[in-house]
Amino acid sequence: MFITNETLYYKAISAIVALWLAKRLPKAYKNIKNHDLSYPTVAIIESQNKIDISHKGAVISIPLSDVESLRIQSIKGKVKSLLLTTKSFSNLRLEGYDNLNEMAELLKKYTPTGKIKISTWYHR
């Protein structure tokens, strides 16, 4: 459009769009690249009876005995998120991890009976 058109109007529009994209694309790329790094690392350590949540050098440990309730949100049998209610933290949401099915099975063992809910209605 910039090269083939002889009208100044279309050349100006093309130049403005190109400048706008040149300004926005590096920031968008950086956000996409850093998105995975923004997730904390979650490790359920059964031998020590704790959940370790670490992010950028800070580690928070939650005893598995503090788990009061567990809500498993799934779509078509695949776990999309886990909502934990603990004594030490009010609510803890685990979402976007690859191994949510395994996490759910481990957390079921440490959740009091009758305090596990499986929701097929997934909401953010």
Residue 124 scores a pLDDT above 60: no
Residue 69: pLDDT band (50, 70, 90) is very high
Q: Closest by alpha carbon to 94, among 34, 42, 32?
A: 42
pLDDT digits (tens, 9 = 90+) for 33-53: 666 667 788 889 888 989 898
Q: What is the pTM of this model?
A: 0.64
Does the domain at 39-119 match CATH 2.30.29.30? Answer given as yes
pLDDT score for 3: 59
pLDDT for residue 70: 92
Q: Over 69-104, what HEC string results?
A: EEEEEEECCEEEEEEEEECCCCEEEEECCCCHHHHH
Q: Is the pLDDT of residue 1 over 60?
A: no
Domain boundaries, the chain: 1-38, 39-119
First-to-last alpha carbon distance for the chain, in angstroms, is: 42
Other beta carbons within 10 angstroms of residue 80's beta carbon come to 16
